[in-house]
A = this chain, B = another copy of it.
Amino acid sequence: MGRNKEFDTTVVLRKAMEVFGHYGYEGTSLQILLDGLGIARQSLYDTYGTKKDLFISAVKHYTNEKSAAVLTRLDRSGSVKAAVADIFREIAAVLKDEARRKECFIMHSAIDQVPHVPEIAAFFEQDASRLEEAFYQALVRAYEQGELSERHSDLRALARYLNHSRYSLTQAAKLTSDPKVLDDIVKVTLSALDS
């Protein structure tokens, strides 16, 4: 019994990503936040807790979603190089889409808060090691399948590089609105796997 929630909490969470991504965590005043979410002050506090709580929830939700997509693709059998190419081209596609790119910028605000919010620091550390390991295992499989040449001696370094490059594309997107630049960066990034 009682009234039902009127808004979809994950839809609002997505709006929070956009707002925090645009203004940064500290740059987002409560008023800006509420305007962006389209809900009332009390609804925010009842549903998500404080501004910081909402921020952490949004960061985690965003990261989990993106990481899950990467893990899924890497776990598919078949060409690993094709899977990695898929992953990066998908990221580029999102960053070139005026509507979908907005929420990605919460990543930038989140990295900003790493030194000040231990919970976010710990979360990113765990996520990064999980992803690095997934890339590494995929690269081992690629090697066994004969997809890599003797040029790729250090698969650990390659795994770290791929995971880092994933994040850094968002930064590039914030600095340029030219889709060609993003495509160029992805193209050269992927060439690290060429023979």
Chain A contacts to B: CB under 8 angstroms: 22-27, 108-109, 111-112, 114-116, 124, 128, 151, 154, 156-158, 160-161, 164-165, 167-168, 171-172, 174-176, 181, 184-185, 187-189, 191-192, 194
Contacts and interface: CB of A to CB of B under 8 A. Distances in A.
B128 A175 contact: yes
Copies of this protein chain in the complex = 2
B171 A111 contact: yes
A interface secondary structure, majority? helix
Contact of A160 (B109, B114, B151, B184): B184
Contacts of A25: 27
A160 B175 contact: no
A114 B175 contact: yes
Contacts of A192: 188-189, 191-192
Given A24-B24, A112-B112, A192-B188, A164 B158 contact: no
Contact of A24 (B112, B174, B187): B112
Given A151-B194, A154-B184, A184-B156, A111 B161 contact: no
A174 B27 contact: no
Contacts of A151: 191, 194
